[in-house]
Structure 1
Amino acid sequence: MPIPRVFAPACVAIAFGISTPAEAYPIDCAILLCLAGGFPASAECSAAHTEMIRRVTPWPIEPPLQLWRCPMNGGLPAGSAGGDVPDDVRHYREGIELWQVTKRSMNSSGGREVHRTISRHHYDEGGRWVRGEASLLSMPSWVDQQIIEHNGIGLAGDFGSFNGILMRYHDYRNQPSYTWISY
């Protein structure tokens, strides 16, 4: 039975009592519960957020949330993509979006050269973590806004260089949170 979004913070508090050591629970359950609660301040949620970031940096090596590893996964077989999950869980999983961006600006004998690489990673409706190339024109405005906020420059201009990953996810109130990782 799905957990209503309004109860997500209470679930985090109950699931992670003060006496529970960080190693005593499956990390993917912690990622799911802490994600729903907006990664509240706790040792368990800090460890869950750190693991989520480790999985996607310096490039998206593996999916940030692996529901098949969590006993609360609704009976999914091990290694399953996770398409058959409760609606609330699907909401959190499909709310994770990752943009991998690279920009290189350099002077050359022909003038200024700018190279950009943009890819989008997300969970599809079947629960598979998919990657697709993206263009500057297909990129939502919030991506460039976050890049500018964290780098002082965006993808559109002719100057500046950076490599990074921008991850967006939503909590139980459907409020987005952003994590920028430079590498």
Structure 2
Amino acid sequence: MNSLRAAAAVAATAVSVSIAAPAAAYPVDCAILLCLAGSWPASAECAHARAVFIARITPWPVEPPLQIWNCPMRASLNREKAPMERLFEIALRDEVGALPQSPGGSHPELYLAQDRADVDISDPAYDFVRSIHVFQIEYRRHRNRDGDCNTWSTVREGTYGEQGDFAWARSTPARVPPASAFRPGTSCSDYWFRGVFVDWTDYEGTYGFEEVRY
């Protein structure tokens, strides 16, 4: 939807990435969420968000590229607003650190969830979060002096659950998407590959990927 792409561009442009701790973790993950949904629109903030997204999959260690639990999507006094509207509100505040306060001076609804979004994101509108897949690939193959073909590989796959929780699981070379530069082929020629591959689809279903060799 073009309106979401435009909104993401405007919102991401408005995100400040230089506010003081402890809120410093919020804007970059809100920006990643918005910019990813909008297919990384051109802006300094989206460029920074994408750089962080890629840096997180650059060893070592390999981290979840989107850490949605660091984006306070509940930080709104209007409980009737949809989560994405709340997110736009967070990103579009004139001063990111100036959250609405209760008479007692606290920030109602502002807290970080533990390894998952702090609101329900099971709606299909958030499928772009669950579309993110991370593959950490190590593969070696060579023929020894006796003519035997020796192959060693370890692949793990990182996926996002219904509420944005991230988990690693063992995987196989066959699961690595064709967009990766990983091309072992079927012969027994010497081959070595080590890298981290991440792919996703944005809110409109457009495919994207990045790969870091090391």
Alignment TM-score > 0.5, same fold: yes
Residues 1:146 and 2:182 are matched in the alignment: no
What does 1:73-152 correspond to in 2, within 5 Å? 74=83, 77-82=111-116, 84-86=119-121, 87=123, 90-111=126-147, 112-137=149-174, 139=175, 143=177, 145-147=178-180, 150=181
Match of 2:205 in 1: 174
Q: Which runs of 5+ in 2 are unaligned?
A: 20-25, 75-82, 84-108
What does 1:11-50 correspond to in 2, within 5 Å? 11-17=7-13, 22-23=17-18, 26-50=27-51
Q: Give the secondary structure class of the aligned counterpart of 2:62.
A: coil
Tell me which of the two structures has the higher relative contact order, counting C-alpha pairs closer than 8 angstroms and 6 or more residues apart.
1
Q: Which has the higher helix share?
A: 1
Q: Which runs of 5+ in 1 are unaligned?
A: none
In structure 2, give the amino acid aligned to 1:57.
T
In structure 1, give the amino acid aligned to 2:203.
Y
User: Highest Rg: 1 or 2?
Assistant: 2
Q: Give the secondary structure class of the aligned counterpart of 1:166.
A: strand
In structure 2, give the amino acid aligned to 1:168.
D
Match of 2:67 in 1: 66
Count of aligned pairs? 171
Q: Give the secondary structure class of the aligned counterpart of 1:27.
A: helix
Structure 2 CA distance for partners of 1:76 and 1:119, relative to 1, 3 Å: farther
Superposition deviation, residue 161 in structure 1 = 0.8
